[in-house]
Amino acid sequence: MSGIAEIQSRIADIEARIAQFTGTTGQTLATTLSTSTSAASGEFANVLSSTGSGVAGAVSRGTRVLNDAALGGGSTGQRLLDVASQFKGVPYKWGGTTPSGFDCSGLIQYAGKQIGLNLPRTAAQQATVGTEVPSLDQARPGDLVVLENGHHIGIYVGNGQMLHAPKTGDVVKISKVWETPMTIRRLGTTAATTAAGVGVAATLLSGLGGTSATDASAYVRPASLSTGATSRSAPYESAFTAAEQKYGLPSGLLRAVAKQESGFDPTARSHAGATGLMQFMPATARSLGIDPTDPFASIDAAGKYLSGHLKTFGSVSLALAAYNAGAGNVKKYGGVPPFAETQNYVKKITADLGSAA
């Protein structure tokens, strides 16, 4: 047995072994995996946690995650596309590298940074990263499409179209790929990425009484389905994790706050004038030195802001109350203020965290 047939046989074996475990064991595996620095392990951990005793049903999804960590292609490129798509409508700005304005390569470099990719600055330099895709017919969403003899670059979205920052007077948008690309580049196929995926597989399999790291690589199968974001939070997951680690916050706190504040909508605006993914009031955003419409800057600022409240008040509940109603009100009432909105806010977020905080 060899090739895809062998891989599918091994996947069936891992599914059978996971099916024997209880929800508690599945949660234990999830906890173990979530300690890894690999983004793939964190996503797989979430899959296991969410299914409890139905862990077996998660494996087909989990193996796609592992595949993308090990073999690149869909996941890295799709995550790049997911992030870059948030900036549709942003004005073109020659030399622009931030959400206040992008040029073609600035958009790609900025989006790459949000998912942990250190991409070069110019289109000509970006035309050399990753591995080459032979033709547009074989391109996948998330591949880099290089046009105009290396002077223009965009991100393929499928159906002969790409997302790009076109020219002065225009905005980030989706357009037809108007010429045969000079080159098409697929991200995520480095040796380091492969090692990360194999490491995740090895961790999982060792928890199942499994196999060596070398054998683990055989459990990673070629993707047959796009692995784009499974929810509106997907483009921001790595940013949530990074900010939580940077500011010493409980895992999942920033995601839960964003869910409550804006439903993961970076264009949200409240009746009171709060703006963006993390819903900062203009004065607060100015004090933090951020553009609240930049979701990634807002996530980092929210981490810093909540960390300050946590140090001041000593509990997650009170830090959340201060985020919602202001530190002055928490001090005034000596706890969570008696406002229905604030009390419900704290309850919903701490429920999402799975703790009384």
Tell me the sheet residues that pair with 184. 145
Compute the half-sphere exposure of residue 259: CA atoms within 13 Å on the CB side of its CA: 18
CA 173 to chain centre: 21
For 267-334, give the DSSP string: T-B-TT--BTTTTB-HHHHHHHT--TT-HHHHHHHHHHHHHHHHHHHSSHHHHHHHHHH-HHHHHHHT
Query: Rounded distance, CA 324 to CA 345, Å?
Result: 8
User: Encoding tokens for residue 116?
Assistant: 């942990």
In which region does residue 142 sit, left (phi positive, over 0), alpha (psi from -120 to 50) or beta (all else)? Answer: left
- DSSP conformational letter for 91: B
**43, 244, 261, 341: the active-site residue:** 261
Q: Which of 342, 346, 78 is nearest to 228 (CA)?
A: 78
Q: Rounded CA gap, 273 and 319, in Å? A: 21
Pairing label, strands 173-176, 97-98: unpaired
Active site residue 341: no
Whole-angstrom Cα distance, residue 277 to residue 156?
A: 26
Residues in CB range of 134: below 8 A, 6 or more apart: 184
Place of tokens 């807002």: 298
What's the distance, Cα to Cα, between the start and end of the chain in Å?
Answer: 52
Q: In which element (H, E) is residue 351 found?
A: helix 340-353
Q: Which of 258, 257, 253 is nearest to 235 (CA)?
A: 258
Annotated catalytic residues are 261
